Structure 1
């Protein structure tokens, strides 16, 4: 497993933060019909009970938005991924179909409100990760977004640099069809509430759709 630590800057800005990481051996595929049936069901439910205005009041999303403010970022300009995914669905758009691992992480994020980093573990440099705050001009290539200004964003760093923020993960460690080991990190800016359930949901979906034994869960703070 990984040694995941939280910097003093994050502890000061977000004292309630708790995290969970799921590490598992997996087999990725381009598309999974059963998974997309679950996504379609959630989409229907979301559209009957939420609006684009109400999303930001969902407790986990609200806590993540507040963490952005405390770290120095405007959450209306750089939205947490869980909020951005829900907004996309509520605008009548469909989710991007990427691959099974990415799609199932997106489903858990949608269901729980947690922003979740999904990484190809074999592309992470070293076994130590630290959650800190992004610095001015810190290099970071967001997946499908190009160079991303991560100043004031919470960011996980390996020994080479940033690999993930709640807005976007880095191209360098992104998952693909070749991925054989996944590290999924659930960010609990609202504390422990719902954290265990989100991590176990990832495990369950990996077992159902990614030929996994479920892997292990590691909690950190």
Structure 2
């Protein structure tokens, strides 16, 4: 499931966060939840994502795209074309909620009003399952400690 391009993207994503932090000597703040998972992402070198479950229709499936899915990238108002054969998280309305496993979308972005959150923790072919699970537990522990809530690992 992990391709070299996915590994490269994860590395670039984490490096971009770290480079921005070092360059500006400050952290680009979005909201408390996103800020927490970005800090954990920089520390662990894993790509993390949070999605608002109240905005997801039905079930979430990780599958290869067929090319007919709805995809509006985070920060965009316009739908983008989807290539077939890209691993993505897709809900029952055929809306991509996370394209290429790591590119988040506008539909389910978390805000200060978000209540039920679905986290995705991505490793790569060099990452052990245990490490991914440990970081998922750490993420939930930190988020529930600082922002309250309850947890469940799926």
Give the TM-score of the pair, scaled to structure 1. Answer: 0.56
In 1, the alpha carbon distance for the partners of 2:16 and 2:69 equals: 23
What secondary structure is seen at the aligned counterpart in 1 of 2:50?
strand
In 2, the alpha carbon distance for the partners of 1:132 and 1:81 equals: 22
Alignment CA distance shift 1:109-1:123 (3 Å): same
Query: What's the C-alpha RMSD, in Å, of the aligned pairs?
Result: 3.0
Match of 2:74 among 116, 132, 143: 143
Match of 1:173 among 102, 108, 112: 108
Report which structure shows greater RCO (CA 8 Å, sep ≥6).
Answer: 1
Residue aligning to 2:131: 194
- Larger CA Rg, structure 1 vs 2: 1
Residue aligning to 2:39: 107
Give the TM-score of the pair, scaled to structure 2. Answer: 0.77
* Contact 2:21-2:28 at 8 Å conserved across structures: no
Structure 2 residue runs without a partner (length 5+): none
Query: Map of 1:82-97 to 2, 5 A cutoff?
Result: 82-92=14-24, 94-97=26-29
> Do residues 204 (structure 1) and 141 (structure 2) align?
yes
Alignment CA distance shift 1:216-1:80 (3 Å): farther
| Matched positions, count | 148
Residue by residue over 1:119-142, the C-alpha shift from the partner in whole angstroms, topping out at 9 and shown as x without a partner, is 00111111232243584x864222
* Contact 2:62-2:87 at 8 Å conserved across structures: no
* Contact 1:81-1:167 at 8 Å conserved across structures: no
Residue by residue over 1:66-99, the C-alpha shift from the partner in whole angstroms, topping out at 9 and shown as x without a partner, is 1438xxxxx47x9753232123223335332111
> Do residues 123 (structure 1) and 58 (structure 2) align?
no
